[in-house]
C-alpha cells in the first residue's frame, strides 16, 4: 500500500503512514493528541499536449530550403564584405568609386591599404560622387614631395575649401611644415587660416600626421594628431564633394600617401 505524508494539526509533526489510514482516528506520536488522518493529496494530472503537425506547402521542397540557406549565406557574406571594405577600410571604397575631379585617375594607385598619389602636372584630385554639408573628413597623410590636401564642399576642382599641407622641405620652410585652410573660387579665393612650424608630426619629409577637417554650418576646424590648429567661418559654400588631392610640377613632383581615410 502506498504511503503519504502530512502534518499533525496540533503540533505540526511530520507523519508518514499508509493511504489506508485516511479517515481513521490516530494519536500523534509526538504530542499524543488524537486527530483524523486526512485524505492524501491528489497529484495534478498534466493535460495532454495537443499534437501539432506541420505541413509544408506543396511547392516548398528541400531544394527551396537549400536555395534559401545559400541565399542567406551569400547575403551575410556581402554584408560582412561591405562592412570590412566600406567602413573599416574606406580607402578601398574611395579608390574604386571616386572619380578624378581634376588631373587623371592614373595618377593614383592603391597598395597595401594606402592610396598613393603622384603628379608632375599641377593638381590631381579624387572626389566623392556625392555631396556633403556637415562632415568630418580625416586621413593619415605622408608627404614625400610637393603638397597634399583634403578638400570639402567642392563644387568643382576650383570652387570649394582646401586644407593644404606640406612638410618642411616640401616648401622650403625652415621652421617645419605648414597647413592652410583656403577658400578657392574664381575671383574670390583667399586664405581663411594658416599655421606653419611646430606641427607635431608633419614637420619633415616622410613623416606622417593624421589630418581631420570638421565642417558644421559655417564653422570649419582643422585638427592635426588630435590637436586643433585652425578654425575659421565662411558661408560661401554650404555643401559639396569631399576629396583628396596632390599638387606638383616637373621640378617638384607631388607625392603623397593617404591611409585610414574616413568620413561621416
| Residue 101 and residue 129 in contact, taking contact as beta carbons nearer than 8 Å | no
61 part of a folded domain:
no
73 part of a folded domain:
no
189 part of a folded domain:
yes
Residue 16's contacts (CB-CB under 8 Å, 6 or more residues apart) are 3, 4, 5
Using CB atoms within 10 Å of the CB of residue 250, give its burial: 0 to 12 exposed, 13 to 18 middle, 19+ buried. Answer: exposed
Q: Are residues 139 and 32 in the same domain?
A: no
CATH code for position 184: 2.60.120.560
Q: Are residues 122 and 251 in the same domain?
A: yes
Q: What is the pLDDT of residues 22-37, one digit of tens each?
A: 887 787 777 778 888 8
pLDDT at 75: 63
87: left (phi over 0), alpha (psi -120 to 50) or beta: alpha
Cell numbers standing for residue 251:
621640378
pLDDT at 238: 95
Number of domain units in the chain = 2
Q: Are residues 254 and 143 in the same domain?
A: yes
pLDDT at 30: 75
Q: Which of 77-81, 143-147, 178-182, 189-193 has the lowest mean pLDDT?
A: 77-81
Q: Which of 9-13, 18-22, 113-117, 256-260 has the lowest mean pLDDT?
A: 18-22
Q: In the structure, how many helices (H) and strands (E) does the chain have?
A: 2, 18
Residue 222 pLDDT greater than 80, yes or no: yes
210 part of a folded domain:
yes
Q: Tell me which of 54 and 221 has the higher pLDDT.
A: 221
Q: Tell me which of 82 and 164 has the higher pLDDT.
A: 164
Q: Across the chain, what does the average pLDDT equal?
A: 78
pLDDT band at residue 72 using 50, 70 and 90 as cut-offs: low
Q: What is the pLDDT of residues 83-94, one digit of tens each?
A: 444 444 455 567
Task: Give the separation between CA 45 and CA 163, rounded to whole angstroms.
Answer: 80
For residues 234-241, average pLDDT: 95
Q: Are residues 13 and 140 in the same domain?
A: no
Please give the residue range of the domain that contains residue 10: 3-36
Using CB atoms within 10 Å of the CB of residue 138, give its burial: 0 to 12 exposed, 13 to 18 middle, 19+ buried. Answer: middle
For residues 109-128, average pLDDT: 90
Amino acid at each position: 500500500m502506498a504511503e503519504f505524508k502530512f502534518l499533525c494539526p496540533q503540533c505540526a509533526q511530520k507523519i508518514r503512514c499508509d493511504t489506508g489510514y485516511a479517515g481513521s482516528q490516530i494519536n500523534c506520536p509526538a504530542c499524543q493528541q488524537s486527530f483524523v488522518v486526512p485524505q492524501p493529496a491528489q497529484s495534478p494530472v498534466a493535460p495532454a499536449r495537443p499534437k501539432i503537425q506541420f505541413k509544408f506547402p506543396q511547392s516548398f521542397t528541400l531544394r527551396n530550403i537549400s536555395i534559401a540557406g545559400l541565399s542567406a549565406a551569400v547575403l551575410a557574406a556581402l554584408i560582412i564584405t561591405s562592412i570590412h571594405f566600406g567602413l573599416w577600410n574606406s580607402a578601398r571604397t574611395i579608390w574604386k568609386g571616386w572619380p578624378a575631379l581634376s588631373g587623371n585617375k592614373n595618377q593614383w594607385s592603391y597598395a597595401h591599404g594606402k592610396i598613393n598619389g603622384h603628379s608632375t602636372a599641377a593638381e590631381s584630385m579624387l572626389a566623392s560622387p556625392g555631396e556633403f554639408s556637415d562632415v568630418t573628413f580625416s586621413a593619415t597623410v605622408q608627404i614625400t614631395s610637393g603638397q597634399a590636401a583634403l578638400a570639402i564642399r567642392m563644387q568643382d576642382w576650383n570652387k570649394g575649401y582646401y586644407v593644404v599641407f606640406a612638410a618642411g622641405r616640401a616648401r622650403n620652410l625652415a621652421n617645419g611644415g605648414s597647413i592652410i585652410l583656403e577658400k578657392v573660387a574664381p575671383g574670390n579665393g583667399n586664405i581663411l587660416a594658416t599655421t606653419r612650424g611646430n606641427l607635431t608630426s608633419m614637420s619633415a619629409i616622410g613623416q606622417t600626421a593624421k589630418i581631420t577637417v570638421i565642417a558644421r554650418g559655417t564653422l570649419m576646424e582643422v585638427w592635426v594628431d588630435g590637436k586643433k590648429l585652425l578654425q575659421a567661418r565662411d558661408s560661401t559654400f554650404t555643401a559639396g564633394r569631399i576629396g583628396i588631392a596632390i599638387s606638383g610640377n616637373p621640378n617638384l613632383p607631388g607625392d603623397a600617401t593617404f591611409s585610414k581615410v574616413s568620413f561621416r
